[in-house]
Amino acid sequence: MYLSRTIRKLTGRSRLTLFTRPLARTSPIIAIHRSYATAQLDLPALDRTWRQKWSEKQRLAQQRRPGVDVSTTPADHMYILSMFPYPSGTLHLGHLRVYTVADVVARYHKLRGRNVLLPMGWDAFGLPAENAAIERGIDPAVWTRDNIAHMKEQLELMNGAFDWSTELATCDPAFYKHTQKLFLLLHQEGLVTRQRAVVNWDPVDGTVLANEQVDSEGRSWRSGAKVEQRPLEQWFLRITAFKEALLRDLDELAKDDGWPERVVTMQKNWLGRTKGANYRFPLTVDGPRRRLDGLDELEIYTTRPETIFGVQFVAVSPDSRLVRELARFDPEIQDYLETVADGSPESDMRGYRIPYVQAHNPVGRAAPAFSHQAKPLPVFIAPYVRGDYETGAVMGVPAHDARDFAFWKRNSSSGDVKYAISPDPAGSCAVDMDEPYLGPGYMTELAGSYSRSRSDEVAESIVEQIQSETQMAEPRTKWKLRDWLISRQRYWGTPIPIVHCRRCGPQPVPDDQLPVELPKVDHHWADGRVGNPLESATDWVNTSCPKCRGPAKRDTDTMDTFVDSSWYYMRFADPRNRDGPISEAAARTRLPVDIYIGGVEHAILHLLYARFFYKAIMGTLYPKDVVANNGAGRVAESPHESSHEPFKRLITQGMVHGKTYLDPDSGRFLKPDEVDLSNASEPRVVASGKRPVVTYEKMSKSKHNGVDPTAFISKYGADATRAHILFQAPVADVLNWDDDKIAGISRWLRRVFDHVHMLAAAAAQDTSGGELIPFHGRAYFAKSEGEVNAMNEDEATRWEDGICVWRAVQESIASITASCDRVYSLNTVVSTLMTLTNVIIDKPDAPECVRRAATINLVRLLAPIAPAFAEECWSVLCPNEGMIFDETLPARWPVPDGSLALLKFNRVKCTVAVNGKRRCVVHIPAKPADVEGDGALEAWITEQILEAPEAREKLSTPENDIRKATKVFIMKGGRGVNYLMPKIS
Ligand SMILES: [Zn+2]
């Protein structure tokens, strides 16, 4: 509500308040401000002017202070980072949104006097470059460099304060030399292993394919051949060695608004720790063969050991060893297996009961009290049990598992369900329940001595008891996390710095031979060949063994690009270091990243890999926890225990959706030239004249709803575009992009601009014009009640307007500072600034010094969002004060001046009417608490009104003598009084 009112006020056609209203009575400036009124606001031109000035300033600063500044203390540093882009060649609105958020936050911290690092670089290795190379016959390096150059040009248009002196590209040998060093460091620490794993093999092209190159039908993107799975020796990073630390430190990250809860949960699920138990179920066989060698029991893992009392059957996978063994001499099983062969889905609930095999619940043997559980259990073959899951067997608990329930209802003769857990604290068996009960609850009488206990509290004791009585149970913790396969059989990545010697095995490339550079294979691209060109680059592959000097071959795999993105942020802290990835001093001063901003689609893999890398690298290079981290400050015993975390705060921003037009008849997405937008609020389909269906969708070529951010910026200016992006949606939400809505932002900026010029004109009349006159709100507004009460009407009005303006300033400073700290609510910064603008402009009678100080604060507060515009306004208001964004000058961000408590106007503006007719407006004191009782308030108010000379004058005639009124109506706490007078005969 509040917001929409503000917007309406600002986006409604400007009333040009400044030039039609009388200005402050004491400032006779109407004659000169006209020349300023014609000042044109050309936002794109301001962008160009100020970008040039900033870059000149940055050039000079770098001459004075080359390299990484590690002189100040870490507390003064802010490292703000947006996830670095893949150089696809074009900047899209999603990029622009994330870089705008990062830049606004960075500029805010700069204005607070902090030493901010806001770097930019390129995630430049990867498959698209290689595909483009094959299609166009050019070197991926050339394609990538061209794209980087183009995107950099586009990025520079957005008025970002990126520190280009730190720029890096992961495909640059100066960068990947250190990626290789880090690989070898992990290798040395035993964190790199070589194992067999399957790859996608294209038998026609004779090459390994990335998962993205295999379509949904399992065919190669290029040859169309059915892809095969082939085992290959590949490199793995042992992320599983860090699983405990990765899980443990998520709790730290979740604290104090650090990482979004959603991301923390996703990471926890990916790590996937479950505390469960292994149970052993003995089997008895009474069929074609009495004995099954080595198959007299089934080992079954469960994540809910307390449901052991509800087991009603055992199910085994068609691929399990037991089934394969039985099928050898049981034709019925063979028949059944044929019906479920070839990957039947997990939803397949057809089962086959093996008539002559029975299983026995271990709990039935644990204690006499559980002997009712000793009844043999049927054993089914069930396709929903996967062969690769543990032993390929599950304990079937229909009461507490949805799939077991569905299977049991379909395959058992009785279908009765035994509930071991109930929501009822009395533990009554809910026998007539028609569905499984999945939550925790209370044990039923099936659980004997455990009945009525909370199910989640007794799980461990149950396992312990069965273990000690029967040795048929064992507590087990399991993890879903697997080691990270980093080998890619591709060209465009960091070469793995290993040579293979037939005599010595895999050997690390010696440090002085790094980097292992990618060989030029121009003929490969020119011929449009597929496959990994490194394999055929014989000059490059053939080398000598660093150990025995005999002939050896280079490893032809390259690293997953996620390896590059796992450490690039460390390199930004020390980008020109030739000796190592990062020096201890730079790590100590600059790391970890304070605020990391990017899309939630990277919530799992990138962020988990980066956390692992940081723990492993920092824990190995600087094991004494030199880098401050989340205040934990403990010294890790081994790198695996490292509590280092790379990103203190994580901000996930939402996507940008584009306006999409659908033909109501065909449901087809319409192209821009198929929609008549001459009346923006009444779009029409050109062909039919009908109203198209308008929706907001993820931007894509097929939906014709993309927006070119650079075209938009050159039309409206970078600052208006930035404000528009922030204003339209909270940072974490989807932004529905609507070009037209920028009009409100442009009008707001023009209002501010006109107002600034008018104030400057007023100041020009003043001898002190151009100096930044310090205004002390607390001193200025500290007037005694007596002084205020002695004011005449004009003075009181001006005083009240001044209070109103300054209160808006103080409240805006507090609210905008909080929003910039929080980041997620940056959209409210724009609306707060709009409201503040209204208050300042709508109170032209406020004292000149207050309006000026208020406007200066407005300009400072909007500087992070609209930096060029703010610099321009600042240069007009305070031409002798240098730039706003100049780190050598005192910090420009305003802080509350402690005046808020003073900013209450203790007088009420009271409209006095007689017989309903307005006579005058006077200020009266606010009602004291002791004015009470019949007629007391009326008498007091009348007395106060008559204190004002204006009232005495206007109400002097006998027919207006309010002291003689027959009735007094007091409205709105004294803001209006109506006197009914006796009829004069
Ligand atoms: Zn050798």
> What is the C-alpha radius of gyration for the chain, rounded to an integer number of angstroms?
38
Percentage of the chain surpassing pLDDT 90?
A: 55
Looking at per-residue confidence, does 629 or 680 come out higher? Answer: 680
Query: What's the pLDDT score for residue 893?
Result: 95
123 with 566: CB under 8 angstroms?
A: no
- Distance (angstroms) between ligand 1 centre and the Cα of 484 equals 28
Looking at per-residue confidence, does 455 or 414 come out higher? Answer: 455
- Distance (angstroms) between ligand 1 centre and the Cα of 552 equals 7
Query: What's the pLDDT score for residue 308?
Result: 94
- Distance (angstroms) between ligand 1 centre and the Cα of 579 equals 27
How far is residue 551 CA from its own chain's centroid? 50
Query: What's the pLDDT score for residue 228?
Result: 87
- Distance (angstroms) between ligand 1 centre and the Cα of 507 equals 8
- Distance (angstroms) between ligand 1 centre and the Cα of 337 equals 51
Query: What's the pLDDT score for residue 178?
Result: 98
- Distance (angstroms) between ligand 1 centre and the Cα of 543 equals 11
The SS3 assignment for 910 reads strand
Summarised one tens digit per residue, pLDDT across range 57-75 is: 888 877 766 555 555 566 6
Other Cβ atoms closer than 10 A to 199? 20
CATH superfamily placement of domain 74-172+566-653: HUPs (3.40.50.620)
- Distance (angstroms) between ligand 1 centre and the Cα of 191 equals 22
How far apart CA 840 and CA 802 sit, in angstroms, is 9
Summarised one tens digit per residue, pLDDT across range 328-363 is: 888 899 999 888 865 556 677 889 999 999 999 998
Place of tokens 């020796």: 233
How far apart CA 481 and CA 239 sit, in angstroms, is 8
Extended beta strands in 154-227, E state: 168-169, 192-202, 207-209
- Distance (angstroms) between ligand 1 centre and the Cα of 487 equals 22
- Distance (angstroms) between ligand 1 centre and the Cα of 551 equals 7
- Distance (angstroms) between ligand 1 centre and the Cα of 561 equals 29
Give residue 76's pLDDT band: very low, low, confident or very high (50, 70, 90).
Answer: confident
- Distance (angstroms) between ligand 1 centre and the Cα of 510 equals 13
- Distance (angstroms) between ligand 1 centre and the Cα of 541 equals 15
Query: What's the pLDDT score for residue 368?
Result: 75
- Distance (angstroms) between ligand 1 centre and the Cα of 558 equals 22
The CATH architecture to which 907-980 belongs is Roll (3.10)
- Cis omega before residue 592 (within 30°)? yes
- Distance (angstroms) between ligand 1 centre and the Cα of 544 equals 8
Q: Which of 461, 473, 459 is nearest to 307 (CA)?
A: 459
Place of tokens 């794209």: 147
CATH 2.70.70.10 is held by the domain 274-477 = no
Query: What's the pLDDT score for residue 113?
Result: 92
- Distance (angstroms) between ligand 1 centre and the Cα of 594 equals 46
Summarised one tens digit per residue, pLDDT across range 453-486 is: 999 899 999 999 999 988 999 999 999 898 999 9
- Distance (angstroms) between ligand 1 centre and the Cα of 519 equals 23
- Distance (angstroms) between ligand 1 centre and the Cα of 504 equals 4
Confidence check: pLDDT of 567 > 70: yes
- Distance (angstroms) between ligand 1 centre and the Cα of 537 equals 21
Average pLDDT value for residue range 750-774: 78
- Distance (angstroms) between ligand 1 centre and the Cα of 501 equals 5
436 with 404: CB under 8 angstroms?
A: yes
Residues in a beta bridge with 1: none
Residue 879 identity: P
- Distance (angstroms) between ligand 1 centre and the Cα of 977 equals 103
- Distance (angstroms) between ligand 1 centre and the Cα of 293 equals 46
How far is residue 477 CA from its own chain's centroid? 31
- Distance (angstroms) between ligand 1 centre and the Cα of 547 equals 5
- Distance (angstroms) between ligand 1 centre and the Cα of 502 equals 7
Average pLDDT value for residue range 764-781: 72
Place of tokens 């007088």: 907
Query: What's the pLDDT score for residue 909?
Result: 85
Beta-strand pair 168-169/115-117: unpaired
Average pLDDT value for residue range 193-214: 82
What is the rounded average pLDDT for all residues in the chain? Answer: 87
Query: What's the pLDDT score for residue 17?
Result: 33
Q: Pick the range with the lowest mean pLDDT from 249-258, 416-425, 778-787, 809-818.
A: 778-787
The ranges assigned to domains in the chain are 2-39+741-902, 74-172+566-653, 187-250+483-561, 274-477, 656-737, 907-980
- Distance (angstroms) between ligand 1 centre and the Cα of 535 equals 20
Q: Which two tokens stand for residue 883?
A: 């730039």
Give residue 11's pLDDT band: very low, low, confident or very high (50, 70, 90).
Answer: very low
Confidence check: pLDDT of 627 > 50: no
CATH 2.30.30 is held by the domain 187-250+483-561 = no
- Distance (angstroms) between ligand 1 centre and the Cα of 949 equals 107
| Secondary structure of 82-93 as H, E, C letters | ECCCCCCCCCCH
- Distance (angstroms) between ligand 1 centre and the Cα of 130 equals 33
Other Cβ atoms closer than 10 A to 771? 13
Place of tokens 């930004």: 572
Average pLDDT value for residue range 136-153: 94
- Distance (angstroms) between ligand 1 centre and the Cα of 744 equals 71
- Distance (angstroms) between ligand 1 centre and the Cα of 567 equals 31
Average pLDDT value for residue range 217-241: 88
Average pLDDT value for residue range 166-185: 97
CATH 3.10.129.10 is held by the domain 2-39+741-902 = no
Query: What's the pLDDT score for residue 389?
Result: 58
CB within 8 Å of 407: residues ≥ 6 apart: 315, 349, 351, 380, 382, 384, 396, 398
Place of tokens 């880098």: 627
- Distance (angstroms) between ligand 1 centre and the Cα of 425 equals 70
CA torsion, ordered 5, 10, 15, 16, to nearest 10 deg: 150
Query: What's the pLDDT score for residue 24?
Result: 37
Summarised one tens digit per residue, pLDDT across range 709-750 is: 999 999 999 999 999 999 999 999 999 999 889 999 999 999
- Distance (angstroms) between ligand 1 centre and the Cα of 546 equals 7
- Distance (angstroms) between ligand 1 centre and the Cα of 509 equals 12
- Distance (angstroms) between ligand 1 centre and the Cα of 549 equals 6
Average pLDDT value for residue range 933-952: 87
Beta-strand pair 77-82/593-599: parallel
- Distance (angstroms) between ligand 1 centre and the Cα of 373 equals 63
- Distance (angstroms) between ligand 1 centre and the Cα of 539 equals 18
Confidence check: pLDDT of 657 > 90: yes
- Distance (angstroms) between ligand 1 centre and the Cα of 969 equals 105
The segment with the largest mean pLDDT, out of 390-399, 557-566, 963-972, is 557-566
Residues in a beta bridge with 651: 597
- Distance (angstroms) between ligand 1 centre and the Cα of 503 equals 5
How far apart CA 802 and CA 851 sit, in angstroms, is 8
- Distance (angstroms) between ligand 1 centre and the Cα of 499 equals 9
- Distance (angstroms) between ligand 1 centre and the Cα of 767 equals 85
- Distance (angstroms) between ligand 1 centre and the Cα of 810 equals 73
Average pLDDT value for residue range 42-69: 82
